């Protein structure tokens, strides 16, 4: 009798793990399906390299929590930081573009996802960038989706050695099975 209970317990655990893996696989597929849209819509160059470790936020100068908070309170901001005589870091926050369709519920769901995806790494086999290119490369945040997966926010950076490159935060909105984008933040190094 104990042996039968032990076997059922192991089967239950294995089945439960399989279900979790399937939901993670489905979510990962949603990410890579959106990335195909991002690459095409933003006309990203597949000859560029890719940083496999995702960016941890949407803006190099703030945490996502602060960015989400600013999206809910600010309408438009332009900021320029002079870090030294040769380095100027600037960004434009136009939250009006993002606020039109992003709700507090969406933001709450996105923050939960970010926590769950801390160990995510890009699989370049699904993206197709040239990992040998060390002169120009992209770095992305993990796209975060609204609960109904009709909205997603992502940060894209294009980088090169030295003090060059830039980036932007983009909100993608899916209507009638087609993704469109609104750029909310743009910055240059």
Domains of the chain: which residue ranges?
2-188
pLDDT digits (tens, 9 = 90+) for 17-40: 444 444 566 778 999 999 999 999
* DSSP-derived 3-state class of residue 156: strand
pLDDT digits (tens, 9 = 90+) for 137-180: 999 999 999 999 999 999 999 998 887 888 888 999 999 999 99
pLDDT, residue 142, reads 93
For residue 79, what pLDDT band results from cuts at 50, 70 and 90?
A: very low
pLDDT, residue 184, reads 78
Tell which wins on pLDDT, 137 or 13.
Answer: 137
Tell which wins on pLDDT, 127 or 162.
Answer: 127
Give whole-number Cα distances, 156 to 6, 24, 64, in Å: 49, 23, 14
| Mean pLDDT taken over the chain | 77
Are 35 and 116 within 8 A, CB to CB?
no
pLDDT, residue 33, reads 95
Among 24-33, 59-68, 112-121, 130-139, the range scoring the smallest mean pLDDT is 59-68
For residue 69, what pLDDT band results from cuts at 50, 70 and 90?
A: low
184 — phi, psi (to 5°)? -105, -35
Q: Which residues have C-beta within 8 Å of that of residue 78, sequence separation ≥ 6?
A: 90, 92, 93
Give whole-number Cα distances, 67 to 93, 157, 166, in Å: 9, 17, 18
CA pair distance 13, 98, nearest whole angstrom = 42
pLDDT, residue 80, reads 47
Q: Which residue, 107, 91, 106, is CA-closest to 150? A: 106
């Amino acid at each position: 009798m104990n042996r039968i209970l032990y076997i059922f317990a192991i089967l239950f655990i294995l089945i439960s793990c399989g279900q979790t893996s399937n939901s993670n696989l489905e979510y990962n597929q949603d990410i890579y399906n959106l990335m195909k849209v991002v690459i095409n819509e933003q006309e990203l160059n597949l000859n560029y390299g890719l940083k496999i470790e995702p960016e941890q936020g949407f803006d190099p100068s703030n945490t996502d929590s602060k960015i989400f908070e600013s999206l809910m309170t600010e309408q438009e901001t332009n900021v320029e930081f002079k870090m030294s005589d040769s380095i100027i870091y600037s960004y434009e926050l136009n939250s009006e573009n993002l606020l039109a369709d992003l709700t507090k519920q969406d933001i709450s769901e996105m923050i939960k996802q970010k926590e769950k995806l801390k160990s995510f790494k890009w699989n370049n086999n699904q993206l197709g960038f040239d990992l040998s290119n060390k002169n120009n490369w992209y770095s992305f945040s993990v796209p975060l989706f609204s609960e109904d997966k009709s909205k997603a926010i992502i940060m894209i950076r294009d980088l090169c050695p030295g003090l060059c490159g830039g980036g932007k935060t983009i909100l993608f909105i899916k209507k009638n099975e087609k993704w469109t984008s609104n750029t909310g933040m743009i910055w240059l190094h």
